[in-house]
Every structure is written in C-alpha cells, then in structure tokens.
Amino acid sequence: MMRIDIIAVVPDLLASPFSHSILKRASEKGLLHVNVIDLRQYGIGKYKQIDDYQYGGGAGMVLKPEPLAQAIRELSAKRAYDEVIYLTPDGELLNQSMANQLSLGKNLLLICGHYKGIDERIRQKYVTREISIGDYVLSGGELAAAVLVDAVGRLIPGVLNDESSALSDSFQDNLLAPPVYTRPAEFEGLEVPAILLSGHFAEIDKWRHAQSLERTRERRPDLMEED
C-alpha cells in the first residue's frame, strides 16, 4: 500500500481525479491511498491566514512558512516520508523514470504552492525534492500534484493488469508508443495495417518496434539522445 498525502490550498481541485478508472481501482484494491489536507486548517489567527505580502515588494502573495511547517511536522510525526515533494515550475522536470522511481516508495508528501509560491525557508528545511510537470505556469500546484499522482499511481505494482501493462507505454523505453487500432477493420476509407490482422505475433512485434522508432525519430528525437 502506497500512501500519498497532499497539502493543498484548494483541496476541491483534488476531489475527483483519484475517484475514477485506474486510480479508483488502485484504491479499491488497497494499493494506493490518497489523502488531501487543507492548508487553511493550519492558518494563523481568526482569519486562518496562510499567505502574506512578499518581503522586498513585488506583486503576488507568498504562502507563509508557519502553517506549512505545522502541517508538515504533524504529518511527519505519523509516518516517515520517502520524499517531501514541492510542485513548482522551477523544479526538476517530471519524466517517466522519475515516476517509476517514485512508484516504489511507501509514503509521499506533496506540497502545492499558490500565488508566487511558498516561503523559501520551507524549501530549505522540509522539502526533499522539487518537481515541475512542464515549462508553463499553473495557477496552483494542485493540478500538477494530480498529474504526478496519476503518473506514479498507475505504476504501483499490481495496479495495472496485463492488458494495461505499463511496459508498452510511451517513454517506458525512451520511445513513443506505436499507433493502435480497434474494430472496425475499415473506417472512413482507412484500413488497419494488414500486419496487425495477420496473426504473426513476432512480425507484429517487429512492426510495432519499427513504428515506435519512426515516431520517436520524427516527433521526439531528443528522447533517443537521452542516456
């Protein structure tokens, strides 16, 4: 059983993503438990303040350190986290090999930022890893956390069955996946490649591999240059 705790500013954004399809099955099978914590409950004073103006001036609020520290300390007292991950556009770019690695962990704590981000001292003292889901800026870390949980959750051993095995996914071997077809054999004048109907599984494997190579060379040659 893997457990993922997520500290969120807008927990509602995380209400639905884990209740469908493969992640729903993962939770029903007892393989993944996702728990969302509302940062507001650790807010300061009567108004449960969680953000504040940034020192030095400049537009945009920053998440205050105390509520985050309190939440992280409370959660860390209950279980040991493999990683405390802050989702941020200036983090390490998420890729499939990171997802593979994270899926082997037991407990993960994810922190979602908002506005201009979180006080730098939280990053220094509590965060063990910083991850970006791409070179663009979201309005908060929640959707990024949902992406990370999806990418990691489906890789937890036992979550996927044979048919949906991760082994044939794009990126699993630094290659994009080949094209796929289902019935009917002819659709709007386009036919399924004959090889796929041939029943020659060794030939089909070869064809798929060749298609993967071609696709990757055309669309993402950068993948083929990686380690």
Residue 166 CB, shortest distance to ligand ADE, in Å, is 22
Q: Which is nearer to ligand ADE, 37 or 148 (CB)?
A: 148
DSSP letters for 85-146 = EEEEEEEEEP-HHHHHHHTT-SEEEEEE-BTT-B-HHHHHHT-SEEEESSSS--SBSHHHHH
User: Which residues are registered as beta bridge partners of 39?
Assistant: none
Q: Which is nearer to ligand ADE, 118 or 155 (CB)?
A: 118
Residues touching ligand ADE, count (CB under 6 A): 12
Task: Mark 1-40 with x for binding to ligand ADE (rule: CB under 6 A) and - for no binding.
Answer: ----------------------------------------
Amino acid identity at 62: V
Residue 64 CB, shortest distance to ligand ADE, in Å, is 18
Cβ count within 10 A of residue 134: 11
Q: Which is nearer to ligand ADE, 134 or 158 (CB)?
A: 134
Distance CA 3, CA 31 (A): 8
Q: Which is nearer to ligand ADE, 99 or 144 (CB)?
A: 144
Distance CA 143, CA 138 (A): 8
Q: Which is nearer to ligand ADE, 55 or 136 (CB)?
A: 136
Which parts of 106-145 interact with ligand ADE (CB under 6 A)?
A: 113, 132-134, 136-138, 141, 144
Q: Which of 87, 102, 109, 146 binds ligand ADE (CB under 6 A)?
A: 87
109 CB-near residues (< 8 Å, 6+ apart): 4, 5, 6, 7, 72, 75, 76, 81, 83, 84, 85
Distance CA 174, CA 224 (A): 7
Q: Which is nearer to ligand ADE, 101 or 164 (CB)?
A: 101
Q: Please give the DSSP secondary-structure letter assigned to residue 224.
A: H
Q: Which of 11, 43, 65, 89 binds ligand ADE (CB under 6 A)?
A: 89
Q: List contacts with ligand ADE (CB under 6 A).
A: 87-89, 113, 132-134, 136-138, 141, 144
